[in-house]
Amino acid sequence: MRTRAHRTGGFTLIELLLATGLLALLVLLVFQIFDRTLSLWRTGETRRGVMEQAAVVSELLTRDLRGLEPGTSGDFVAEWVRFDADGDGVVETSWPRLRMVRAASAAEVARLRSAMAARERDGAPAAPVEGIVIERSAPELIEVVWGVVPASLTDRDARSEGRVHRGERLVSDVTSKSFFAPDFYGVANKPPAGTTDDVCGGLLWLGVQMAGQTSVVHDGWSLGTDAEDAVAAWDAWNRARPDRDIHPWNAPWDYAPKVKDRPLLPRRVRIELEIERPQDRLRRTRLLRPLATEETSFTVDDARHLPDTDNAHVLIDGEWMEVVTRSGPELTVRRAARGTQALTHAQGSMVHWGQPTVREVVVSGYREDWNL
């Protein structure tokens, strides 16, 4: 008599393989979701951190511009200066520099007077106040200077970045040199020690555009030489202080009205900022091969670390480029953007870029006749 074999409990080999495959697929999906979430969180944190730094710069600069003094003691100079950031004897990096006179709060006056008194006690010699006629009966005014210097002259990856500095002094201060003095910055284009404070590091781009009395900016800002264009340099007293031999953007504005006893101030100022923090720099990509001056496309070693959108800007060494199209790790660009020059770039050069921030400031002295 045959006995029926009893099947013992358990899984067959095929069932085990199917279960293992499904488990592996589930783990992979969970990992991908986690990686995507982590990437989005990291991107959000990066943008938030950059926006916080940009907000500090734009808020301070906006406050200074809104308080520009329109009276006879006022002044405003915006110019572009160049640096040889890599030490090869060729100036390739350009940064703006702003000098202005604005109204001061009581707290600011008290703080600056205290600093001036300390310098007088230390025997600081009297310094002439150049370029400004002081109205002794008028409210106290302060000079403000904004400038940028290269973050490093030795670190190859950091020398394209800038460090923003800001200084302020009373117009009537006889213990310190005026920011408008021709020799204040010296031949190295750096401020004297102790006259300014660092505001922000990791700056890739600080663009400043001014709308004049004939500029039209309804449909966007455009730098140019026509009456309706905006300009990148300004001289409130028409004294040829921005040097056009240093940078073409320092050319005088041909449509500026003649001024007599009052400074000519811009009607609106547009501020553009792009910042790249040191931790962001660690995730930047590099050129896979050398890039000649006539080439309009290049390939990088990691496409994940490129800007998300077209029409963004990238910075390689001292040259800005506008992204036209992107296909994986290959970018087609418009060379020599933002007033820079086309350069030759070595293999391994870092491709810098930052989160753009834009702010427009109405100059208060002209608010009543604003009609752009």
What is the residue whose two structure tokens read 């900022």?
Answer: 273
Single out the residue in 265, 295, 320 at which a domain terminates: 265
260 and 313 share one domain: no
Tens-digit pLDDT profile for residues 94-121:
999 999 999 988 888 888 888 888 877 7
Tens-digit pLDDT profile for residues 181-208:
999 998 888 899 889 999 988 999 999 9
pLDDT at residue 49, rounded to an integer: 57
Instruction: Give 154 or 48, the one with higher predicted confidence.
Output: 154
Q: Is the pLDDT of residue 324 over 90?
A: yes
Instruction: Give 308 or 262, the one with higher predicted confidence.
Output: 262
Does some domain include residue 36? no
Single out the residue in 196, 230, 265 at which a domain terminates: 265
252 and 121 share one domain: yes
293 band by pLDDT with thresholds 50, 70 and 90:
very high
SS (H, E, C) the chain: CCCCCCCCCCCCHHHHHHHHHHHHHHHHHHHHHHHHHHHHHHHHHHHHHHHHHHHHHHHHHHHHHHCECCCCCCCEEEEEEEECCCCCCCCCEEEEEEEEEEECCHHHHHHHHHHHHHHHHCCCCCCCCCCCCCCCCCCCEEEEEEEEEECCCCCCCCCCCEEEEEEEEECCCCCCCCCCCCCCCCCCCCCCCCCCEEEEEEEEEEEEEEECCCCCCCCCCCECCCCCCEECCEECCCCCCCCCCCCHHHCCCCCCCCCCCCCCCCCEEEEEEEECCHHHHCCCCEECCCECCCCCEEEECCHHHCCCCCCCEEEECCEEEEEEEEECCEEEEEEEECCCCCCCECCCCECECCEEEEEEEECHHHHHHCCC
pLDDT at residue 78, rounded to an integer: 97
Q: How many domains does the chain have?
A: 2
Residue 129: which domain range? 68-265
113 and 186 share one domain: yes
245 and 294 share one domain: no
274 band by pLDDT with thresholds 50, 70 and 90:
very high
Does some domain include residue 94? yes
Does some domain include residue 161? yes
Does some domain include residue 110? yes
Single out the residue in 265, 295, 316 at which a domain terminates: 265
pLDDT at residue 11, rounded to an integer: 66
Does some domain include residue 96? yes
pLDDT at residue 10, rounded to an integer: 64
* Least confident segment among 60-69, 323-332, 360-369: 360-369
Most confident of 147-151, 211-215, 297-301: 297-301
Does some domain include residue 275? no
Sequence-ordered list of residues with C-beta below 8 angstroms from that of 255, at least 6 positions apart, any chain? 212, 213, 214, 227
Tens-digit pLDDT profile for residues 122-136:
765 555 544 444 444
What is the residue whose two structure tokens read 């009456």?
Answer: 227
- Percentage above 70 pLDDT, the chain: 85
235 and 313 share one domain: no
302 and 238 share one domain: no
Does some domain include residue 322? yes
Does some domain include residue 220? yes
334 and 235 share one domain: no
200 and 154 share one domain: yes
228 and 289 share one domain: no
261 and 328 share one domain: no
91 and 162 share one domain: yes
257 and 313 share one domain: no
